[in-house]
Structure 1
Amino acid sequence: MFGKKDGKKNAAIDGLSLAPGVSVLETEKGTVLFDGRQGRYFQLNELGLIVVRSLEEGKDADAIVRRVVEAYDVDAKTADADVRAFLAQIKELGVAV
């Protein structure tokens, strides 16, 4: 599971940013991450959009979690798990480094 393990956060996802060649595009069908290096698109939901926009602003995982808690009726533990899972996923996909 992503997030905290033995009281420590997953340092591998702190300090992420969008990879070079990856951009956020608004389309008629919603917002996507476009990986121009490989011509791939990734549809973003509302959480994904908050996370990606926060990364563009240089926010770390904890700041993103606080933003999600403020925006939605969700507890900090759930928000932390969801944000960290999303960050790990976009890192695995190569659209964040």
Structure 2
Amino acid sequence: MALRFGTDVCTATTDYGTVLLDQRTGQYWELNPTATLVVSTLMAGGDEDDATNALVREFDVTPAQARDDVTALIGELRAGGLAA
């Protein structure tokens, strides 16, 4: 399932990953390169399997750990009200 940020969320890519700003609360979220890859994959229309596979290809991580990381990140973004 593709990831969509709320209309009040701005993103900026940095040398260290991605920064998200929730304009409603003024809260910043800093995503490391791993989370940035997950978010980029999902925003490009990929699903959780695509994001998991991207992590396995790019980083030294098992498929099970990659899947857990993808699921956790999506849950945190949704719980924080940043993504749908």
Corresponding residue for 1:20? 7
* Root-mean-square deviation (Å): 1.9
Tell me the TM-score normalised to structure 1 length.
0.74
- Find runs of 4+ consecutive structure 1 residues off by over 4 angstroms: 27-30
2:74 matches 1:75: no
What secondary structure is seen at the aligned counterpart in 2 of 1:90?
A: helix
Tell me the TM-score normalised to structure 2 length.
0.84
User: Aligned equivalents of 1:29 and 1:69: distance in 2?
Assistant: 19
Q: More relative contact order in 1 or in 2 (CA 8 Å, sep 6+)?
A: 1
Percentage identity across aligned positions? 33
Aligned residues: 84
Moved more, 37-46 or 77-86: 37-46
- Check the 8 A contact 1:23/1:34 in 2, yes or no: yes
- Rg larger for: 1
Q: 1:53 to 1:15 in 2, by over 3 A?
A: closer
